[in-house]
Amino acid sequence: MPLTVQAILGHEAEARALRETLEALGYQHSGEAELTLELGPEGLALLRTDRRPPLRLRLDFAAGRQGYRLAHAGHQREGLIRAFGKLPRDSHVIDASAGIGRDTLLLAAHGFRVTAWERHPVVYRVLADALARASRTSELATIIERITLFEGPANPSQLEPLATAAVFDPMFPERAKRAAVKKDMQLIQALMPDVADPDADQTLATLRAGVERRVIVKRPLHAPAIGPDTPQASVKGKSVRFDLYPALQAP
Ligand SMILES: C[S@@+](CC[C@H](N)C(=O)[O-])C[C@H]1O[C@@H](n2cnc3c(N)ncnc32)[C@H](O)[C@@H]1O
């Protein structure tokens, strides 16, 4: 099933450019879901049109629960922030799997400088569009300034000096009917028919070799750990777990 790019009146040129970019990247949607990228005055949205009503994902970091989480301090209580340990607020950290940006934003709202990677061309574009819009709002501009987003596979060794720590949240094949699989993630999963990152072990190894202190892997609470090594420790939340691995610097 192909993914179509649709323009809302007045945005035809941008939609054409987006279509051409995805083509040039060789991107082809291979899943069963019928998906449309809609480009209009409000930015980029991803729609699943074989659902009634259609599912729609347009990220807006200033609104809803994400906006609330960012605007109200107390990030220290978030399991992810605790998993980083006691780091200076302006530490440089990596988000190796930016996805729809919830963790990236939380880390930046806490004060960390964040270098993030997203390798899926559609997910990357939906996120980059939302970050650009958020950077123009007075509430979020200073948070967004702390984020650098790259398209492609996470490549920590390109950073000089190395980042202090990294978080990695690989896709996990959740049971489709679970209420906890939120609408936004359902759409992301529809883009990725395998619904798993088969090279997660390799990414973990690359990250451990490319940060100064620690790699945190986010897992559903009862999912097995990834990689050959047992995590050094785990920070448990209500539905997720953060497995901690020490950095492995070459001697
Ligand atoms: C479960 S989602 C991440 C959700 C994200 N933590 C959030 O808060 O929205 C996993 C994402 O990581 C991306 N990904 C997985 N491995 C990656 C890698 N090695 N480099 C870059 N992106 C990766 C996938 O394309 C997918 O979009």
Query: What are the pLDDT digits (tens) for 27-66?
Result: 999 888 999 999 999 999 999 999 889 999 999 998 876 6
More confident residue, 196 or 17: 17
Which of 12, 32, 58 is where one domain is finished?
Answer: 58
Same domain, 6 and 64: no
- Ligand 1 contact via 156 beta carbon (within 6 Å): no
Q: How many domains does the chain have?
A: 2
- Ligand 1 contact via 100 beta carbon (within 6 Å): yes
* Angle, CA 189 vertex, CA 184 and CA 192 arms, to 5°: 140
CATH of the domain at 11: 3.40.1630
Same domain, 90 and 8: no
Same domain, 52 and 162: no
Quickly state the pLDDT bin for 180 (edges 50, 70, 90): very low
- Average pLDDT rounded to a whole number, residues 202-223: 96
Same domain, 100 and 2: no
Same domain, 47 and 90: no
In a domain, 95, yes or no: yes
- Ligand 1 contact via 101 beta carbon (within 6 Å): yes
56 C-alpha vs ligand 1 centroid, how far in Å? 19
- Which of 25, 97, 118, 181 for a ligand 1 pocket mutation test, highest count of atoms within 8 Å of Cβ? 97
More confident residue, 193 or 233: 233
Nearest CA among 214, 219, 210 for reference residue 237: 219
Quickly state the pLDDT bin for 181 (edges 50, 70, 90): low
Domain that holds residue 92: 59-246
Same domain, 175 and 119: yes
Nearest CA among 78, 117, 89 for reference residue 240: 78
- Ligand 1 contact via 184 beta carbon (within 6 Å): no
In a domain, 104, yes or no: yes
CATH of the domain at 201: 3.40.50.150
Which of 58, 81, 107 is where one domain is finished?
Answer: 58
- Average pLDDT rounded to a whole number, residues 146-174: 94
Give tens-digit pLDDT for 61-89. Answer: 988 766 666 666 566 668 999 999 999 99
Q: In the prediction, which pLDDT does 91 show?
A: 97
Same domain, 66 and 84: yes
Same domain, 23 and 72: no
- Average pLDDT rounded to a whole number, residues 153-159: 96
Task: Please enumerate in sequence order all residues whose Cβ is within 8 A of that of 58, keeping only pairs 6 or more positions apart, or say none.
Answer: 42, 43, 44, 45, 46, 126, 130
Task: Please enumerate in sequence order all residues whose Cβ is within 8 A of that of 185, keeping only pairs 6 or more positions apart, or say none.
Answer: 100, 174
- Ligand 1 contact via 241 beta carbon (within 6 Å): no
Tokens of 156: 């920590």
Please give the span between the terminal C-alpha atoms of the chain, in angstroms, as a whole number. 49
Same domain, 197 and 78: yes
In a domain, 251, yes or no: no
